Amino acid sequence: MDEPDTEPPLVVVPGADPSARQLCFAWGPAEVLVCETLFDRAGGSRSRCWHCYPLLTGSVAGTGQGAPSSSQVFVVRRDQDIYIQTLRKLFNESHGIFMGLQRSEEELAGKSRKAQLVQVSKNYRSVIRACMEDMHEAAVATQDPALQGQYSTQVSILSAMELIWNLCEILFVEAATAGPLLLRLLDWVRLHVCDVDSMVREVLSSESPSKHKLFWNVVDVFVLQGRMDEARHLLSKEASANPTSMNMYKILDDLMKKMPVPSVGNTQTLTELELKWQHWHEECQRYLQDGTFASNPHMESICKILLGDEDAILEKKELMTTWYHFLVTRLLYSHPTVKPMELRFYAQSSMDLFLGGESSPEPLDLILMAAFEFEIHQVIKECSIVLSNWWFVAHLTDLLDHCKLLQSHNLYFGSNMREFLLLEYASGLFSHHSLWQLGVDYFDHCPEYGRVYLELHIERIPLSTEQKALKVLRICEQRQMHEQVRSICKIMAMKALRNNRLGSALSWSIRAKDAAFATLISDRFLKDYCERGCFSDLDLIDNLGPSMLLSDRLTFLGKYREFHRLYGEKRFPEAARLLLTLMTAHIAPCSFWMTLLTDALPLLEQKEVIFSAEQTYELMRCLEDLTAGNPDKQKFQDDDVETTKVEMLRLALARNLARVIVKEGTVEGS
């Protein structure tokens, strides 16, 4: 079981004063709300009257008499880097790489799979580098010193991230073997120790480089980094300026030229290399011992470096600037065929020698050391503690997991480390007003808890426009998150209803197949109709199509409107039949029967007889059911208007019955 072995970092909330007042807080998904309470520090408050005020007050509060005007709610965010504008490029571009990696084919065998993973790793690094450049440009461009400081900090954090990532790529992803390993480490040092570049430029651009006071420093830098061709080129300038020591130069130049180096192409075996190297080493040794370079301390020191003399190399500490440069130089000249598992010994001793007890290792040193020791989990743990974002550890861990390097490690809190870190990172994205969309795909690739996290987070996305709601809805629908789909549609339907947009409200509830809500909206339509005597939103109601079947009330609404349309088109018999069916088939709610019967009045009064005898009887039964079965019987008797209506209906029905009997009798008789 892992126990945290460092104190959690202290977060200072600017503006809050915990020494004066007690703070209270509430956890959010990726944020903490903190606010000052009205309790003072001592607990026993002298101003007791304040206790009756609500403890949580927003920043706008403070209207109450005793409430302090400073009452504020602070949002404390965990993943702060998420909010840095320039880093959004990192988040977005790496999202694409991440998705590519998840899609990539695991079936690819051995070498091609490794090449693929190395390429992915390089892509991640190039995004970090691009971001670093942008940040650097921004730092140069800005006038604001505070902002400049911020950018510079970010540049150094990004550069440290890239340094660590690159080392992990060499050791874990590519898993370079003895020989190529050294070449990779040399590239790594050359890429990241760039403090000397300006010095090199200054010397090379001077009128006569060999006279420049930094000339030998530059030669040394080249030698320390194993850049032999460049070193020899510089030395040749010195040689032509100093013909007297020509011989000495020629010998040194020859030694440097002959130095055997591991080759990438596997043309020689390690044993061959070691033999050659041994031979070359002895040759250097001979020249040093017979005092060939004794007259020139610079060249003598270079020869010592070639021999891997630790003291001679350490003398150039200033030029190497870091212990890991020292390590790689040392390996180059003493153990060029170092095996991965031997690295830890050289790394530890190099750090000890380099720091020499004068300073203690920084977090970055410890992370690199853990990498050299192949303690992958330690690397990730240290990075999680030190870095101010989850981006780095989440993506690195995912990549290492794809390299099948993390499979044995399960955390005591449920999921594995990869998933845990991805969840943290994605939660950070979801707390951002704009980056939340990226978070979805990360949750998708967390098999254990991703779904639950997504469900919890997606409901908290503010649905400011229909367009945004549609995007959120699409995410939920694609993942069969029925509960969330319903909830989103309901929220949108509710909003539309509040804005009196019945049509929109209805289409949202149709989308969610929310029958109850469709009924509610249909009732609103019917109520509007009863009040105004005409339908609103005909374009919608006339085009309900199959969605009409979603709820009984909606069906009624559609059918009732159809009745009006038939009536309007003077298709009376059809209209009459429909009207009757609405009641007899109990499609219409009872509360609406009176309206329907009233609608029958003009049909009863037509010159033509429309309702058949049978239909008329049914109408009469409906009317009697309504007046008899209505619990508000009183209402009918008290309300004059209603009574008159019922009387008029009875009369009209009776007259229609009379007419229809005559008519039907006549027709049958003839």
Partner 1 sequence: AMEDVSAKFVSQKISRTRWRPLPAAALQPPDLFATGSWDNEDNRVSIWSAGDLGNAGLNGEYHGEPHLLCDIQHNGDVMDMQFLDQERIVVASSTGTVTIFRHHQNNQTLSANHRWEKAHYHVDQDTSCGGAACTGVVCNNPEIVTVGEDGRINLFRADQRDAVRTIDNADSSTLHAVTFLRTTEILTVNSIGQLKIWDLRQQRNEPSQIFSLAGDRVPLHCVDRHPNQQHIVATGGQDGMLSIWDIRQGTMPVSLLNAHEAEMWEVHFHPSDPDHLFTCSEDGSLWHWDTSTNVSEKPSFLHQGGRSTAYLSHSTINQSVVSAWLSNDPTKDRMEITNLIPNQTLSVNSLDVLGPCLVYGTDAEAIYVNRQLFA
Binding residues for partner 1, per CB under 8 A?
A: 85-86, 88-89, 92-93, 95-96, 99-100, 103, 433-434, 437-438, 441, 464-468, 470-471, 474, 478, 498-504, 507, 510, 536-540, 543-547
Q: 21 forms bridges with which residues in the sheet? A: 40
Rounded CA gap, 94 and 377, in Å? 22
Shortest CB 556 distance to partner 1, Å: 18
Question: Which is closer to partner 1, CB of 151 or CB of 354?
Answer: 151
Helix 246-258 and helix 228-241, axial crossing angle in degrees, nearest 10: 170
Question: Which is closer to partner 1, CB of 236 or CB of 543?
Answer: 543
* Tokens 């809805």, located at residue: 473
| CB contact set of 92 (below 8 Å; sequence gap of 6+) | 438
Shortest CB 547 distance to partner 1, Å: 7
Question: Which is closer to partner 1, CB of 69 or CB of 464?
Answer: 464
Shortest CB 462 distance to partner 1, Å: 10
Question: Which is closer to partner 1, CB of 284 or CB of 548?
Answer: 548
387: left (phi over 0), alpha (psi -120 to 50) or beta: beta
15: left (phi over 0), alpha (psi -120 to 50) or beta: left
Rounded CA gap, 526 and 528, in Å? 5
Structure tokens at 564: 């009006």
Shortest CB 248 distance to partner 1, Å: 49
Question: Which is closer to partner 1, CB of 336 or CB of 439?
Answer: 439
Question: Which is closer to partner 1, CB of 501 or CB of 663?
Answer: 501
Nearest to 453 by CA among 504, 414, 510: 414
Question: Which is closer to partner 1, CB of 85 or CB of 634?
Answer: 85
Shortest CB 499 distance to partner 1, Å: 4
The backbone torsions φ and ψ at residue 19, rounded to the nearest 5 degrees and listed phi first, read -75, -25
Asked if 443 contacts 423 with a C-beta cutoff of 8 angstroms, the reply is yes
Question: Which is closer to partner 1, CB of 493 or CB of 652?
Answer: 493
Cβ count within 10 A of residue 184: 19
Question: Which is closer to partner 1, CB of 415 or CB of 536?
Answer: 536
Shortest CB 497 distance to partner 1, Å: 11
Task: Write down the H helix ranges in 403-501.
Answer: 417-430, 436-444, 450-458, 466-478, 482-498
Kindly state the helix (H) or strand (E) to which residue 539 belongs, with its residue range: helix 538-541
Shortest CB 169 distance to partner 1, Å: 23
Question: Which is closer to partner 1, CB of 91 or CB of 326?
Answer: 91
Shortest CB 553 distance to partner 1, Å: 17
| CB contact set of 619 (below 8 Å; sequence gap of 6+) | 580, 597, 600, 611, 653
Shortest CB 422 distance to partner 1, Å: 16
Shortest CB 433 distance to partner 1, Å: 6
Nearest to 133 by CA among 90, 81, 94: 90
Question: Which is closer to partner 1, CB of 501 or CB of 564?
Answer: 501
Angle subtended at Cα 250 by Cα 244 and Cα 254, rounded to the nearest 5 degrees: 165
C-alpha distances out from residue 594 to 171, 583, 588, 602, 605, Å: 84, 10, 10, 14, 17
CA 387 to chain centroid, in Å, comes to: 17
Shortest CB 216 distance to partner 1, Å: 41
Three-state SS at 144? coil
Shortest CB 97 distance to partner 1, Å: 11
Question: Which is closer to partner 1, CB of 518 or CB of 583?
Answer: 518
User: Hey, which bits of 41-168 come out as E strands?
Assistant: 73-77
Nearest to 247 by CA among 215, 220, 287: 287
